[in-house]
């Protein structure tokens, strides 16, 4: 069983989420985590779906997602290097004499205390899923009163290297039958 993270670009229309969730349910696939949000283009939304299974099942999920009409693009981010984050809000039982311990724990994990009550603290933490799980495990002895997570969001890393870094980019622009360089005076343009 492997965890797979699917990045799904969908049209921003009513019913898309229900359609995708219905596809998972109809085929007996489990969704471990599902996050949906708008993209830089308001016509599209980005879904990050986490599911677990063998490679054959995960390939079947990818193909089935690709068949849905409102799905624009499907990528399995498990096959590439990506940045993934999860957001945790956790209310921990914490009488005043334990606040120093909880504060040290939050500093180690680079978390922040979002709220303090008479007998509890609310901690906010972002990071990869394994970091979130480790923090939750360390909080259990204190007593977890409430816990809420966003689920995984992910985006692939930009691994493309630009071999021409530092080299001026030359573009040719036609203005009234003349060729003008927009790269600067030191760049010679080939004859047109």
DSSP 8-24: EEEE--TTHHHHHHHHH
- Quote the crossing angle between the two packed helices 55-67 and 16-26, to the nearest 10°: 140
Q: Where in the chain is the domain with CATH 3.30.70.1150?
A: 81-186
Q: Is the pLDDT of residue 131 over 90?
A: yes
Top pLDDT among 175 and 42 is at: 42
pLDDT for the residue 99: 93
* Phi/psi of residue 133, nearest 5 degrees: -60, -40
Q: If you count them, how many residues does the chain have?
A: 192
Query: According to the model, what pLDDT value does residue 8 have?
Result: 94
H/E run at residue 154: strand 153-156
The predicted structure's pLDDT at residue 182: 37
The pLDDT, as a whole number, for residue 190 is 41
Query: Can you tell me the distance from the alpha carbon of 63 to that of 128, in angstroms, rounded to the nearest whole number?
Result: 27
The arrangement of secondary structure in 81-186, i.e. its CATH architecture, is: 2-Layer Sandwich (3.30)
Cα dihedral 110, 93, 129, 17 sign = negative
Residues 86 and 128: beta-carbon distance below 8 Å: yes
Instruction: Give residue 163's pLDDT band: very low, low, confident or very high (50, 70, 90).
Output: very low
In this predicted structure, the answer to whether residue 144 has a pLDDT above a threshold of 80 is: yes
**Which residue ranges does the chain devote to CATH 3.30.70.260?**
2-79
Q: What is the pLDDT, as a whole number, of residue 158?
A: 85
Note the pLDDT of residue 142.
95
E strand or H helix at 61: helix 55-67
pLDDT tens for 4-60 read 999 999 999 999 999 999 999 998 999 999 999 999 999 999 999 999 988 898 999
Q: Name the pLDDT band for 187 (thresholds 50, 70, 90).
A: very low
H-run or E-run covering 100: helix 99-108
- Overall fold of domain 2-79: Alpha-Beta Plaits (3.30.70)
Contacts of 38 (CB under 8 A, 6+ apart): 12, 44, 45, 46
């Amino acid at each position: 069983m492997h965890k797979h993270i699917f990045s799904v670009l969908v049209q921003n229309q009513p019913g898309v989420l229900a359609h995708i969730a219905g596809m998972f349910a109809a085929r007996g696939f489990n969704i471990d985590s599902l996050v949906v949000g708008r993209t830089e283009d308001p016509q599209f939304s980005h879904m990050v779906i986490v599911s677990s299974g063998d490679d054959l099942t995960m390939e079947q999920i990818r193909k089935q997602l690709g068949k849905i009409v409102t799905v624009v693009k499907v990528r399995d981010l498990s096959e590439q290097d990506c940045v993934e984050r999860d957001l945790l809000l956790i209310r921990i039982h914490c009488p005043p004499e334990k606040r120093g311990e909880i504060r040290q724990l939050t500093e180690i994990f680079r978390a922040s205390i979002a709220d303090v009550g008479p007998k509890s603290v609310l901690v906010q933490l972002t990071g990869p899923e394994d970091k979130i799980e480790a923090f939750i495990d360390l909080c259990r002895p204190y007593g977890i009163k409430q816990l809420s997570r966003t689920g995984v969001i992910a985006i692939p890393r930009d691994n493309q290297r630009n071999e021409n870094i530092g080299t001026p980019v030359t573009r040719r622009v036609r203005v009234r039958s003349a060729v003008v360089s927009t790269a600067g005076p030191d760049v010679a343009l080939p004859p047109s």
